[in-house]
Amino acid sequence: MAQKRILITGAAGFIGSHLCDRYIKEGYHVIGMDNLITGNLENIAHLFPLENFEFYHHDISKFVFVPGDLHYILHFASPASPIDYLKMPIQTLKVGSLGTHNLLGLARVKKARILIASTSEVYGDPLVHPQHEEYWGNVNPIGPRGVYDEAKRFQEAITMAYHTYHGLETRIVRIFNTYGPRMRVEDGRVLPAFFSQAIKGEGLTIFGDGSQTRSFCYVDDLVEGIFRLLLSDYVLPVNLGNPDEITIKQFADEILALVNNPKAGIVNRPLPVDDPKQRQPDIRRAKEILGWEPTYDRRSGLLLTYEYFKQVVH
Ligand code: UDP
C-alpha cells in the first residue's frame, strides 16, 4: 500500500510536534506546517533530516497549497495559552476561522480526512461538571478568552457543516489541559510557569486563591487518543483528557515538592477575568468509542516533564 501522507498544522508547537513524532514512527509521510508565532523549530529539528518529513513555514489563515496526494489533515495550529490569545487576539480568531476554512477546502480537494483540535474552552466556565460532550457550554463571547473560545466553537460548526453538506470525513477532538516536554517556558500556562518559578527559586504565582480546579493529561496519552480518533469512524466531538482533577493550590504544592528548591514559595496574584472555576473531562465517550483512557498518573507525567524543564529553564 502507498505511504499515507498527513498534513499537520501547528507542527512546531507543543502537541503538534509530538503528533509529528508519532506519525513518523507509524510510517506516514508527514508534512508539517507552522507560521512559528508560538511554535518553535527546535521541537521538530530532529525530524528535518528524515526523508518522510517536510516542513512549510506558512500561515494557514492564508490560502494553503500542498502539492501531491494528501490522505489526512490534523489541524493543530493556534495560539493556545490565555496569555498568547490576549497578545494575539486577531490571529487567534483568524486561525480558528479562516485557517480552518482553508484546511476544510484543502481536505475537500484532496479527499482527505481532517481532524480538528477543539478544546475544553468550548464549555467556557462550565455549569455542568464534569463536562460531557453534550453540554453546550457557558462562554462569554466578548471576554478576553472569547477570541479563542468562539473561534473554536466556530471551527466545530464549520467542520460539522462541511461534513453534513459536502460529506467530508471529519473528526473533532476536545482537548483538556495537557502537559509534557516542549511546552513553551514563557507561554504563561500554569505548568510552565510553576516549573520555571520553582527551578529558579521564585514564588509560584497562584492566580486567585488557587481553589479553581483543572485536570491534567500527559501528552503521550493525548496523542494516543488522537491517533485512535483519526482512524475511527466517529464524527461527533470527543473529549480527551485525564479526569484526575486537582486545585491549582494542590498543583503548586506538588511541583514545589517535586522540585524541592528551598528558595521557591508561593505568591498570590489576581484571578484573570473569566477564568473557569472547575474543569474535568467526562471521558466515557472516548472509552466507549476508542477504547481509550489515560495511562500516566500525574506523578509519572510530572517527573518526565520536570526532566525537560530542567534542561530549558536557566
Ligand atoms: N494559573 C495560575 N498561575 C499561573 C498561571 C495560571 O494560578 O501562573 C491558573 C489559572 O488562573 C487557571 C489555571 O491555573 O485557573 C490553569 O491556567 P492555564 O493558563 O494553564 O490554562 P487554562 O486551563 O486556564 O486555559
Which domains does the chain carry?
Answer: 5-180+217-242+279-295 (3.40.50.720)
Q: Residue 2: what pLDDT?
A: 84
Out of 72, 148, 179, 296, pick the active-site residue: 148
Amino acid 301: pLDDT: 98
Mean pLDDT across the chain: 97
The reply to whether the predicted model has a pTM over 0.75 is yes
pLDDT exceeds 70 at position 1 = no
CA-nearest residue for atom 10, ligand 1, is 207
Distance (Å) from CA 84 to ligand 1 centroid = 13
Nearest CA to ligand 1 atom 16: 190
Q: Which atom of ligand 1 lies at the shortest distance from residue 279's CA? A: 23
| pLDDT above 70 as % of the chain | 100
CA distances from 312 to 37, 192, 219 (A): 19, 11, 18
Beta pairing, strands 238-240 & 72-75: unpaired
Measured by CA distance, the residue closest to atom 12 of ligand 1 is 275
Can you tell me the distance from the alpha carbon of 253 to that of 310, in angstroms, rounded to the nearest whole number?
18
Side by side, which strands form the sheet with 5-9?
53-57, 29-34, 5-9, 72-75, 113-119, 170-175, 238-240
End-to-end CA distance of the chain: 48
DSSP 19-52: HHHHHHHTT-EEEEEE--SS--GGGTGGGTT-TT
Q: For ligand 1, what atom is nearest to the CA of residue 271?
A: 11
Coil, strand, or helix at residue 139? coil
**pLDDT value for 135:** 98
Reported as half-sphere exposure (CB side, CA atoms, 13 A), residue 234 has a value of 20
How confident is residue 314, by pLDDT bands cut at 50, 70 and 90? Answer: confident
Tell me the best of 81, 202, 248 to mutate to test the pocket of ligand 1, counting ligand atoms within 8 Å of each CB and taking the most.
248
pLDDT band at residue 8 under the 50/70/90 scheme: very high
Residue nearest ligand 1's atom 5 by CA: 190
Specify which residues 173 forms β-bridges with: 117, 238
Contacts of 129 (CB under 8 A, 6+ apart): 278, 280
pLDDT of residue 159: 98
Statement: residue 270 has pLDDT above 90:
yes
Mutational test site, ligand 1, from 15, 122, 207, 305, max ligand atoms within 8 Å of CB: 207
Q: Provide mean pLDDT across the span 194-218.
A: 98
Phi, psi at residue 139, to the nearest 5°?
-110, 135
Q: Determine the atom of ligand 1 nearest the C-alpha atom of 121.
A: 25
Does the annotation count 148 as an active-site position?
Answer: yes
How close is the Cα of 10 to the center of ligand 1, in Å? 22
Average pLDDT over residues 107-120: 98
Residues 115 and 82: their CA atoms lie apart, in Å, by: 23
pLDDT in tens, 54-107: 999 999 999 999 999 999 999 999 999 999 988 999 999 999 999 999 999 999
Question: Please, are residues 37 and 86 in contact by the beta-carbon 8 Å criterion?
Answer: no
Model pLDDT for residues 154-187, shown as the tens digit of each residue: 999 999 999 999 999 999 999 999 999 999 999 9
CA nearest neighbour of 121 among 301, 276, 302, 285: 276
Q: What's the 1 CA to ligand 1 centre distance in angstroms?
A: 45
Task: Give the atom of ligand 1 at the shortest distance from the alpha carbon of 206.
Answer: 7
- How many whole angstroms separate alpha carbon 311 and alpha carbon 314? 8
For range 286-295, the mean pLDDT:
98
